[in-house]
Chain A
């Protein structure tokens, strides 16, 4: 039986119809809302590539049922800024060139955003601890830490 949910994504409400209320939010965001920020990495909540903010919390959208996200504000990488109006984290990732293949970067920025919302001037150790659940395979870690630090200083 089809279920229809009102998803509030990046300030806009999109009605999505699904057959399975347990379908992870990630699939609704990518295939129905048409977003490219959150990525599929593991489907197990282990890598962080799919991270979005749900009700102000950084969550793994591969592990949240779409039914549980209905009605709550969802913010994705697309929603925090764009080319004409970059979020300080996006600007900092550009300034530090903190990208290699870029597949994990959505998760890095969305996780860092949650960190900076509760800690406006994190130390290197605090940044590393906050991102410990986000995997990067290219080895961009050092630049990512620098970018988060730079963003924190520009947001201060």
Chain B
């Protein structure tokens, strides 16, 4: 490839301004911050506060009045950038067009924790809101001092403080380019929601025009001058030991630069991307055989037999075991949820550069600050010598391969002066991203002679977790460098239930190991555990002859939860049902049914009530979700259209997981290596999603990135039961499982 025609540098649009000791970033409107971040990499930038307790940690106002929000929470394609802009614009009374956002840069943004668990609004947004309200109060105070007027007589409007006589002081004049040097007031008075003009409105996302015209800069588009391209050559087994490497054929590929080997880590570097791919294919490596994975058809036996590190009681009310022992009637059921990949459409990609022993890594990691700690550990460096910058990538839906690609790039780049870009292949992503671990849950419930549920008990077999959510970096493991243990995410969440039964016990058997490196996939644990809970609840409703929606309402003592269920019943025109096919749904080979599900996320926040409507073909076993109804209460809504987009995405993505997805493997490695061997939902199977948003402007704003996913598999399973009388207790609901169930009904 012609080197002169290679990737043009992208540091061309923005500049850093240094004024009054504070760093202020100026942007072309709507542009990403990536190139600005690259400029800052040169290291001539005054320190910016990263403090969570200081206004300057979150906000800067330039002399031109532009407001920059520094957010440790990043936009993973969820629209949170726009939502944070709305919050800042509202609280500062500044037009949205004058707000910029810098996200996930360890040199610039405070560490607000990883972008996980649907807390970017409830934590990230609230932190920005308090900082903005504190800033606004300070700007009013300063104006009051200059004008010698009482602060109470002043207001803010369009980026300026305004006096009753019409005098104005623009924020740029008051603070432009200087630091606030002010603690965030945790008790600051924020605006009255009744006066909101930006929050609560369906503001269009600021990034979409660039995306639909091909001007947006994804991580995959990020280029630096002189950048080299690398491909990692992963072992053909999950525990590959590397023997001899013959790179003589690779060396003959024009553009080949080097082979990089560290222990069992192998990569090839070239001047252009295609040469790196060809060279990787031409590399001959000897790998020791390894067959340590369980047989796939015996997975659940293996999970049940895995040594337990500890038992974690996740809920204990009354004396469930004794009550079950003596019960007049018991129901038992076992649920399993297959191993899943995140399934990002764009395989992971990262760029790294070493300068004077300092590492700068650009990636689409959802946890730039944690990645920085991990890379520092990996290379035995002080964290101050590592900088991680976020650039939006293909959606990750949890901890996928982005961080691993970053570690690959960092390890390879250590041998070069130039920046190195690593692009994973499709198979790299499917095989080597950490996986949503297998989940196995046994349930037992006890009924008294009147049919009341008197005890509920569940026990789950799930991997053990560490204190910090992070996954081992593959490159560090393969290279024999320091590693952290992998964490599956808080997968014990939602083993506890909200329903009020007199005796409840749930236990998590935390397992010593799991077949694949575990991590969190969107709605980790909450999706798998709520699947079991909400199908088993349906089984209890059916066993006691009560309509499943009414059964839930009766078992709840929560006004907002009940309202969500009542509203979804109205939205879906729910007809009470006493058992499968009670309404005679469907005709011929196609059976129709509806199922309900409900969750209060982690028992403390967002409420979701849902009704799934399915068509089941009893000849083919194919299930299609035709409509999916959601009543959603996440408190104060920041952007109702962005919220609907998230709910729709949760429904469709999780319908895909419930109906189609299962990671396949042999004794050596993952055999789901692409979209043919790991099918996901396609357009003809996408349900219509009907949503009722319950807005509570005076309540705290909660998240929506995950909660709806929790109810989708159970709502579909319950609808399949309604249509067919078959209980689907194993995700995915494949035609084979359904046909087997139909034979038994």
Contact = CB atoms under 8 A, between A and B. Distances in A.
Given A35-B214, A105-B212, A46 B345 contact: no
B670 interface: no
A31 B6 contact: yes
Contacts of A27: 272-274
Interface stretch (B150-158, B508-516, B540-548, B676-684): B676-684
B674 interface: yes
B484 to A, nearest CB: 27
> Which one of A101, A138, A143 has the highest number of Cβ atoms from chain B below 10 Å of its Cβ?
A101
A118 interface: no
Given A36-B216, A44-B426, A103-B394, A145 B211 contact: no
Interface string A19-59: 11001100100111011111111111011010000000000
Of the four ranges (under 10, 10 to 19, 20 to 34, 35 or more), the interface on chain B belongs to: 35 or more
A44 B218 CA distance: 21
B687 to A, nearest CB: 8
A83 B1 contact: no
Given A31-B6, A102-B207, A138 B213 contact: no
A88 to B, nearest CB: 11
Given A32-B1, A94-B208, A46 B676 contact: yes
B550 interface: no
Contacts of A19: 1, 253-255, 274-275
A41 B346 contact: yes
Nearest to B652: A139
Given A32-B6, A44-B676, A135-B345, 20 more contacts: A2-B254, A18-B2, A30-B221, A36-B218, A39-B394, A41-B346, A42-B347, A78-B213, A97-B208, A99-B207, A100-B78, A101-B392, A129-B684, A135-B680, A136-B345, A137-B395, A137-B653, A138-B77, A139-B648, A141-B686
A37 to B, nearest CB: 3
B217 interface: yes
Interface string B634-666: 000000011001001111110010000000000
B202 to A, nearest CB: 8
B675 A102 contact: no
B682 A132 contact: yes
A97 B204 contact: yes
A90 interface: yes
A61 interface: no
Which 6 pairs from chain A and chain B are nearest by CB? A101-B77, A37-B214, A139-B652, A101-B395, A141-B686, A139-B649
10 contacts: A20-B278, A31-B1, A44-B675, A49-B346, A94-B204, A102-B212, A103-B77, A133-B682, A134-B683, A140-B649
Contacts of A103: 77, 218, 220, 344-346, 393-395
Contacts of A34: 7-8
A82 interface: yes
Given A32-B2, A97-B645, A142 B346 contact: no
Given A36-B221, A134-B683, A137-B343, A76 B653 contact: no
> Which one of A19, A38, A76, A102 has the highest number of Cβ atoms from chain B below 10 Å of its Cβ?
A102
B345 A47 contact: yes
B215 A36 contact: yes
Interface string B337-377: 00000011111000000000000000000000000000000
A49 B211 CA distance: 13
Interface in A93-151: 93-94, 97, 99-106, 109, 125, 127-129, 131-145
Of the four ranges (under 10, 10 to 19, 20 to 34, 35 or more), the interface on chain A belongs to: 35 or more
Contacts, number: 206
A47 B675 contact: yes
Interface of A: 2, 16-20, 23-24, 27, 30-32, 34-44, 46-47, 49, 76-78, 81-83, 86, 89-90, 93-94, 97, 99-106, 109, 125, 127-129, 131-145
Nearest to A107: B345
B212 A94 contact: yes
A102 B645 contact: no
B426 A142 contact: no
Taking chain B's interface residues, is the majority helix, strand, or loop, or is none over half, making it mixed?
loop
B397 interface: yes
Nearest to B207: A102
B171 to A, nearest CB: 28
Contacts of A140: 645, 648-649, 652
B250 to A, nearest CB: 14
Contacts of B76: 101
A97 B5 CA distance: 35
Nearest to A141: B686
Given A2-B2, A44-B426, A78-B214, A31 B272 contact: yes
Contact of A142 (B204, B392, B652, B674): B652
A78 B656 CA distance: 31
Contact of A83 (B209, B274, B426): B209
A36 B426 contact: no
A97 B274 contact: no
B689 interface: yes
Contact of A18 (B1, B394, B684): B1
Contacts of A104: 345
> Which one of B77, B213, B393, B423 has the highest number of Cβ atoms from chain A below 10 Å of its Cβ?
B213
A32 B2 CA distance: 8
B542 to A, nearest CB: 30
A8 to B, nearest CB: 16
A51 B425 CA distance: 18
Contact of A78 (B2, B215, B347, B425): B215
B622 to A, nearest CB: 15
Given A20-B274, A99-B208, A39 B2 contact: no
A43 B343 CA distance: 15
Contacts of B345: 41, 47, 49, 101, 103-104, 135-137
A34 to B, nearest CB: 5
B214 A36 contact: yes
B688 interface: yes
A143 B674 CA distance: 26
B435 to A, nearest CB: 16
A27 B217 CA distance: 16
A103 B347 CA distance: 11
A140 B8 CA distance: 32
B230 to A, nearest CB: 14
Given A2-B2, A81-B213, A138 B205 contact: no
B213 A41 contact: no
A27 B645 CA distance: 32
Given A27-B273, A47-B675, A135 B208 contact: no
A13 to B, nearest CB: 14
A135 B686 contact: no
Contact of A131 (B6, B397, B683): B683
Contact of A141 (B204, B641, B683): B683
> Which one of A37, A39, A97, A128 has the highest number of Cβ atoms from chain B below 10 Å of its Cβ?
A97
A102 B77 contact: yes
Contacts of B653: 137-139
A83 B31 CA distance: 13
Nearest to B215: A36
A152 B370 CA distance: 46
A37 B211 CA distance: 8
A134 B221 CA distance: 21
Contacts of B6: 31-32
A135 B2 CA distance: 33
Contacts of A132: 682-684
